Structures are given as structure tokens and as C-alpha cells.
Chains A and B, each alone.
Chain A
């Protein structure tokens, strides 16, 4: 009896240690993001004093006003919205069609197509040939350069294929007997029962498109077609080395508000969409990955 209660106590201590460790880690993860938020709503004076603080002394939303009235910010924000919406649509159409077709074991040439696709995960042409090919397709300085070259994520495609394979064939057979063709079956039978799964990948893709910056850096040099991430790079990263034209424009406009507050406000506004979809992504990604990892 005594032994049992002692054991329980020991485990209790262990549980507390775990919670303490995890809480510290969570705080380390959250603090920088929290601080960004705090600085973005602080008045320039408290920021200028360089004192780390946990709560703004004076609330000041001037920096948000500056961000939203800055023409380049609004323009690049709209570009990112376009790329995300259209890009995700393209991503999903190609991925669903491709994954569904490849999930049919009877498809002649299936092995060949799969090998062709999986090989690209192991070997690629690299930066320069990719750059030259996309340029030669006249995609540079268009929003399509952020959509078409990344129209398919091979990893997602394979997971989706594995998922479609896990759907029992008998579900489709009934529709097939009624004379439905493959496209009708996909749209009317398979997709409706796969909605949670499809939605997960839609969110994955949309986060990816929203976060797209590398293709933009390679292919876009006219500020009219810049996405938000490149605008952010200009005012956040390049600012460190020298004042870029974009950064100067902001500084000029933001007479009163401190530039740092503007930087942080830009971060908050651009991260907000991700924060909004994050709970839904988080709810499903483990499930999505698990279903997909079932080997054929």
C-alpha cells in the first residue's frame, strides 16, 4: 500500500517536470511573436527607449494606418491574394485529377507515370535551367510565374493518390453500373466523401502560395507584380543592409510613427491570414499525413 502511493508521487513529480519543460518551450516560441504584436501597437517613444516591455505603455495604432495607406503594401497584398486564390485552384485541380487517375491500379502505364513523377523528388534541374526555362515561357514579370511553376507539389500528390487508393472500390462500382464515367464518379461520388481530406490539402496549398517568395524573387523585378513576401523582404531584410526605395517610401510617409512599429505592423497584417486558417490546418494535418503514409 505504502509502496503504491510512493510510486504515484514520483510519477506526479515527473509529470510536473514535463509540463514545466513544455511551458518554457512554448513561451520561447511565443515570446518573439508576442513582442512583434506589442511593438506594432506601441508609440514611438517607448520603442525608442529600447526598454524591453511586456505591455505597451501607450497604445498607438498609427503604424497600422501607415501600412494600410501605403500604396505598395496594398498592391502587393492584392497580388498575394490573387496568387493564393488562383494558385490554390490550379494546385487542387491538377493534384486531384492526377492523384485520382494514378490511384487506379488497372491504369495501363501507371508504374511508368509514377516513376516519372517520383524521380523528380530525387533529382532536379536546379536553379539556373529552371530560371531560363520559365523565362523562355515568357512567364517572368507576370503573376503566373508564382502559380504555374509550382502548380504541383509532388509530395502532396503522392499522399492524395494513396488516400484515393484507400477508398473502397465498391463505392464507385454502384455509380459505374449506373453508367457514370470516371469524371462523374470523381466529382459526384469520391470528392463529396473526401471533403475533409481535400480541404486539408487546399489549406496546405494556400499557405504555400501565400508564403511564396522564391519564384517571385527570381522572376519578378517590376514592383507592380510583387507579392507581399517580397515587399516584406524589402522592408525587413534588405533594410538591414541599406535603405531600399520601398523602405524609404515608408519612412517618408511615416513621419510620426517609428519605422520599427511599421515593420512589425506589416508582419502582423501579413501573418494574420495564416493565423486565421492555422487552427483548421492544425486540426487535420496529422490525419492527412497518416492516411497518406500508408504504403501500397
Chain B
């Protein structure tokens, strides 16, 4: 369409195009009717809050609300620089998310490779079913289980005491808290994160394996030269998604929020948990806490753009 318009600048044709467009719109009026509530929802629940980010530059007052609170310029951002708790939260967020990316990203790929090597489809389905199940339980419930298990008189310490080992309480010990978060995250999400790679393995042309077998390749050679290159694109996409969500899901808010407590704030408090407590517990100005999460969103979108650029440079199709 676009190309035709560029070549033929005939006003008559342009007019006809416009008429065609309006006819198409009239034809599709029911589709617009279906789309209307959806777009309305996005405007109210996504775009209005985005507009509400203007609060980051205002001093919030309950009597005037978001839109009519007095402007404050970049006052909140200046305030942030001297807020130790903010820096602590930023650091913790980066450590949680960075550690997750570094330690946990390769593990689902390894598990998928192992599952893929299983000869029996039935067994594979059984293992997959078991390993994926915790994904569907909330962190509220899982935290309850973990807290009870790792409490000073819980099961874990019961088992340890049988072997005369000292009791551990990772949930209230500063040096154990982070590894505990990573490990328990792995426990919940490993199976789920494996699915996408298993699907990618399943998409590899079986003819490649047959050809390799005829050439005398053994199992490991096939794994290294066919299976892994076959899922390269998927791995890249997952890597951008992981890097792009470093500041959001990477910081695993649900998990930390339900597991942390006063004694470990020092290593556990992330930006989101800090924003929550500062807004609803510590009674800080909502303009200030909005400014914090605004900064977070900006860092996040920069990360997405960078990650996407790297992947497209590597010759893989990016996100946009």
C-alpha cells in the first residue's frame, strides 16, 4: 500500500484509497466494537498510571490527588541521592537479579538437555509434570511452607540434629538469605523454565540426527553439534527477556516480599519492597516513592533496548 502511494501521486487514486479505507472501517465495525473494551482497559489500567508517573515530579497531597498535587521539580530525585535506604535497595535488587541471571539462567538449559536425552517419552512427561508443579503455587503458600520448614524447630533442623549438625535458620541469617532466595526460586521455577527449551529441542528436524548417526556421530557429538545449535535462537531470546526483566521479575518481588523480615532487610530489601514499605508503612510521600519506581522503570527500559541490540548484532531476530 505504502509503496504504491509513493509511486503514484495521483490525487484521484489517493481519494479512492481513502474511500476504500473508510469502507474497510465500516465493514469492520463489529471488530472495533470487540476491541473497544480492550483498548479502554489499557487506557485506564496501564496508560492512566503511566500518566500518574508525573507524581514523581510532585509532592503528593491526599486532598488534591495525583493530578492536582503541587509540582516539585526534580526535588525527589535529589532526595534519593542522599537516601541510604534507596541505595541499599538498588544494590540488593541488582545483586538478586544479577545473581539469578548468572547462576540460574543456564540450569534450565542443562535440565532440558538431560530430559531431552531420556529415551522414554512417558518418563519424560512424568518428570516434567512433577518438576513443573510448584510453579502453579503462589509464593504466599510456598513461603509459608519454607518458613515452617526452616524454622528453628522445623523439619530441616530436625534432620540436621539427627546428624549432630548445627541448626541453621537461613531466613533470618544475613549471609544465607540471598543463596536461600536463589535456591528456593530454582526449586519453584526450574521445571517451568525448562519447558520452552524442551519445546525448542522438539522443533529440531529429526533428519539432522539421522544424518549424523549415519556419519557415525555418538550421542554427545549429536548433543553438541545438533541439539545445542538448534536451540541457540531460543536461548538468545530468553536471555534478552531475562536481561530486560532484571529490574522487574528478576528481583522476584513476590518471593522476597513473603520471605523477608526485619533481621535481613540489609541484604533483602529490594526497590519494590522498599517502595511498598516506604509508601504504606513508613508514611513517606507518595511522590517520592513514585520517583523511585519511575527511576526503576527507566533503567529497565534501557536494559531492554541494550539487550535487544546485542542480540540483533549477534544475528538473531530481536524482540522488535
Contact = CB atoms under 8 A, between A and B. Distances in A.
B79 interface: no
B143 A237 contact: yes
B19 interface: no
What's the interface size class on B, roughly? 35 or more
A136 B17 CA distance: 44
B65 A132 contact: yes
B24 interface: yes
Contacts of B264: none
A22 B115 contact: yes
Contacts of B158: 50-52
- Most chain A Cβ neighbours within 10 Å, of B66, B144, B187, B275: B144
- Most chain B Cβ neighbours within 10 Å, of A15, A29, A120: A29
A100 B136 CA distance: 28
Interface stretch (B84-92, B98-106, B124-132): B124-132
Nearest to B30: A182
Interface stretch (A61-69, A104-112, A192-200): A104-112
B224 interface: no
29 contacts: A18-B114, A26-B127, A29-B191, A36-B145, A50-B158, A101-B34, A117-B42, A118-B320, A120-B42, A120-B46, A122-B301, A123-B297, A123-B301, A124-B46, A126-B290, A126-B296, A127-B275, A127-B279, A128-B52, A128-B279, A128-B286, A133-B49, A136-B66, A186-B34, A233-B144, A236-B144, A237-B144, A240-B151, A241-B261
Contacts of B155: 35, 52
Contact of B45 (A18, A107, A117, A148): A148
A148 B171 CA distance: 35
A116 interface: yes
| Chain B interface helix/strand/loop/mixed | helix
B275 A107 contact: no
B145 A267 contact: yes
A256 B145 CA distance: 22
Given A101-B31, A182-B30, A14 B219 contact: yes
- Most chain B Cβ neighbours within 10 Å, of A97, A128, A148: A128
Contact of A282 (B38, B45, B129, B261): B129
Contacts of B48: 125, 129, 133
A175 B219 CA distance: 52
Contact of A129 (B31, B66, B128, B300): B66
Interface in A36-79: 36, 50-52
Contacts of B145: 32-33, 36, 236, 267
Contacts of A257: none
Contacts of B294: 126
Given A123-B297, A128-B52, A267-B145, 8 more contacts: A7-B218, A22-B127, A124-B46, A126-B293, A236-B140, A240-B147, A270-B141, A295-B317
A5 interface: no
Interface of B: 21, 24-25, 28, 30-32, 34-35, 37-39, 41-42, 44-53, 55, 65-66, 111, 114-115, 117-119, 123, 127-134, 136-138, 140-141, 143-149, 151, 153, 155, 158-159, 162, 187, 190-191, 195-196, 198-199, 203, 218-219, 244, 254, 258, 261-262, 272, 275-276, 279, 286, 289-290, 293-294, 296-297, 300-301, 304, 317, 320
Contact of A29 (B31, B131, B203): B131
Contact of B258 (A33, A237, A289): A237
B45 A100 contact: no
A237 B145 CA distance: 9
A123 B299 CA distance: 10
* 3 pairs of A and B residues whose beta carbons are closest in the complex: A125-B49, A236-B144, A129-B52
- Most chain A Cβ neighbours within 10 Å, of B47, B148, B153: B148
A181 interface: yes
Contacts of A127: 272, 275-276, 279, 289, 293
A17 to B, nearest CB: 9
Nearest to B275: A127
Interface stretch (A81-89, A165-173, A207-215): A207-215
B224 to A, nearest CB: 14
A213 B138 contact: yes
B187 A28 contact: yes
A33 B261 CA distance: 24
A181 B199 CA distance: 37
A1 B136 CA distance: 50
Contact of A107 (B28, B272, B297, B301): B28
B110 to A, nearest CB: 10
A178 B149 CA distance: 64
Contact of A11 (B111, B133, B219, B297): B219
A245 interface: no
A35 B35 CA distance: 48
A191 interface: no
A290 B219 CA distance: 26
A98 interface: yes
A97 B37 contact: yes
A21 interface: yes
Given A151-B45, A236-B143, A97 B34 contact: yes
B38 A152 contact: yes
A18 to B, nearest CB: 5
A260 B147 CA distance: 12
Contacts of B297: 123-124, 126
A223 interface: no
A285 to B, nearest CB: 7
B35 to A, nearest CB: 4
B45 A52 contact: no
Contact of A98 (B21, B38, B114, B140): B38
